[in-house]
Every structure is written in C-alpha cells, then in structure tokens.
Amino acid sequence: MPRPDAGGRLELGQENAYRASVFLSQLNQRVRVLDYEGPDLQALGHALVALAEEHRLSKVFIKAHEPDADGLEAAGFTREGTISGYFNGADCVVESRFLAEERATSSATDAERSAVEQLAVSPVPDRRYEIPPDYSSAVAAPEDAQELARLYERVFESYPFPIFDPDYLRGVMATHVVFRLVRDERRQLVAAASAETAPALSNAEMTDFATLPSERGKHLACYLLQELERDLPARGIVNLYTLARSSIVGMNRVFHHLGYRFTGRLVKNCHIGGKFEDMLCWCKRIG
C-alpha cells in the first residue's frame, strides 16, 4: 500500500515584497508554490529555499510568470520547462531549485531520452480513437469514487496526490476536477483519466491516467484524452498541459498522438510508481 502524504498548506509573506501560498509534501519531498504575487521575486525565492531547508525537503518548484523568471533565477532557481498558455494564454515557466545533488540528477536513461526526442519530432497521426463496441464511457459521479480509488490503487505503487482516498476524489469532483471513465462489457471500471481545471486561468492539467494491465493496447488512454478535450471548451478551458512520467514512453506517445508539444523536463519532480521520477511537459491549445 502506498504511504500517505504528510504535509500541508502554508502562507508566506513579506510586506511590500511578496506573498505566496505553498504546499509542503513529505511524500514528494518538495515545496510546491500554489500561487504568488509581489515585486521581489528574489526575496520570495530565498524564502522558499529557507522553508525547504527547515523542513528537510529537497526540491522547490513554482509555475512562474515569464517576467518573474529573472528574480527567481537570481535566487538560484533553474528553468526546467514552459507551459504554453498557462496564464490565460500567456506562457508560464517552471522554475525549480534543488537542495540535494542526488535530487538534481535526472532519473531518465539514455534510451528514455532518445525515445522522447524522436517522438517529439515525429509526425502526429491523423485519426480518431474509439473504444470497443461493448465498452462504455462517461464522466465520473461521486458514487464512482470508491471504485475509482480501487483502480488507482491497483495501477500505482505510489502517487503524488491522494487519489487512493475516495473522499479526496469526491471532494475534487465537486470543485474543479473532471474524471472520465471507461467500463468494459461487464460494467467493470478498466480505465480512467482526469482534467484538473483552473477556470480562472482557462487551463487544465490532463492527468491521473490509469488503465488496468489486462486492458492495455486498446488505445483507452488516447480515447479518454480525446473525450476529455471535447468536454472542456464548454467550461471555458482552452489551454491544456500534462506532466507525463518520463519512464512511461507509451503515455508520452498518447499526448504526442493527440497533438501536444513537448516543452520541458522536470527532474525528479514527484514520487510516483514507487520512486522519484522525471516528468515531461506537453502542451496543447484547443477550441
């Protein structure tokens, strides 16, 4: 059973300099900035590093406005990637600071890197994806949460967010996350994915993809992504991105096949599948 996360949300601030909401995660060993504002980004960067040191965490990362990158980099942060259109059409830069040499060392093998490099420049297939005729798909409802949590437990050894908890799933369904499911001919849940929407920013993170091993090879992930994309424009969401596991080349292929562009590598960004792993940025605009 994956170990639960232990952490929490904190507010940081220095008058006339900066304000930030952050989440400290023991599971992911990182400080994640949820939102921020203020003119002194160098001071904010130093405060984030001090917080990470205090709690013995090894990475800080922030999705920053492009003009703020210089201030963060003056505090020792490094640009790892870009998320196109993140701020209502304006790009964001992912800036990170590593507090341990081992954490700053990529987990990717040469074969993984080569596969992604080749994928990023290969042609995008022109096709639609369908599920088997006797399968069905629908947007998840609160009553699906227990079964959805069990699916995630079967697929992932660890995960950076508490998706093994049905109450967590119900909570985010009620606020900002759209889950879409695929069921087989026996009405058993065999695959799922989600869009974590940020309506105020007109973006969504396409995430939480899981397919039972017995069901792989049927393009269920491609189908789920395709259908989620169709659901989102009515919600005002037009800029999509994902952070895909570097080691799962097939999942990166799913995003490439749906027209997403590769825009960066986040080194050992979270604890997933039983280890710290690089996450790859892919972006797309719809509508």
Each residue's pLDDT tens digit in the chain (287 positions)?
Answer: 233 455 689 999 999 999 999 999 999 999 999 999 999 999 999 999 999 999 999 999 999 999 999 999 999 999 999 999 999 999 999 999 999 999 999 999 999 999 999 999 999 999 999 999 999 999 999 999 999 999 999 999 999 999 999 999 999 999 999 999 999 999 999 999 999 999 999 999 999 999 999 999 999 999 999 999 999 999 999 999 999 999 999 999 999 999 999 999 999 999 999 999 999 999 999 98
Residue 104 lies in a domain: no
Domain closes at, from 39, 69, 98: 98
* pTM for this entry: 0.94
Tell me the C-alpha to C-alpha distance, in Å, between residue 209 and each of 12, 118, 166.
Answer: 33, 23, 16
The verdict on 78 and 132 lying in the same domain is: no
The verdict on 80 and 115 lying in the same domain is: no
Cβ(162)–Cβ(8) under 8 Å? Answer: no
Tell me the C-alpha to C-alpha distance, in Å, between residue 171 and each of 153, 163, 168, 195, 226.
Answer: 18, 11, 5, 14, 24
Tell me which residue range forms the domain holding 85: 7-98
Residue 105 lies in a domain: no
The verdict on 272 and 139 lying in the same domain is: yes
For 94, the token pair is: 């992912």
The verdict on 121 and 213 lying in the same domain is: yes
Q: How many domains would you assign to the chain?
A: 2
Domain closes at, from 98, 122, 155: 98
The verdict on 141 and 207 lying in the same domain is: yes
The verdict on 253 and 134 lying in the same domain is: yes
Distance, CA of 30 to CA of 44 (rounded, Å): 16
Residue 201 lies in a domain: yes
Residue 2 lies in a domain: no
The verdict on 79 and 121 lying in the same domain is: no
Confidence (pLDDT) at 4: 41
The verdict on 236 and 267 lying in the same domain is: yes
Residue 1 lies in a domain: no
Domain closes at, from 98, 124, 158: 98
Residue 25 lies in a domain: yes
Looking up residue 90, the CATH number of its domain turns out to be: 3.40.630.30
The verdict on 277 and 158 lying in the same domain is: yes
The verdict on 166 and 197 lying in the same domain is: yes
The verdict on 85 and 133 lying in the same domain is: no
Residue 35 lies in a domain: yes
Question: Alpha carbon 83 to chain centroid distance?
Answer: 11
The verdict on 25 and 71 lying in the same domain is: yes
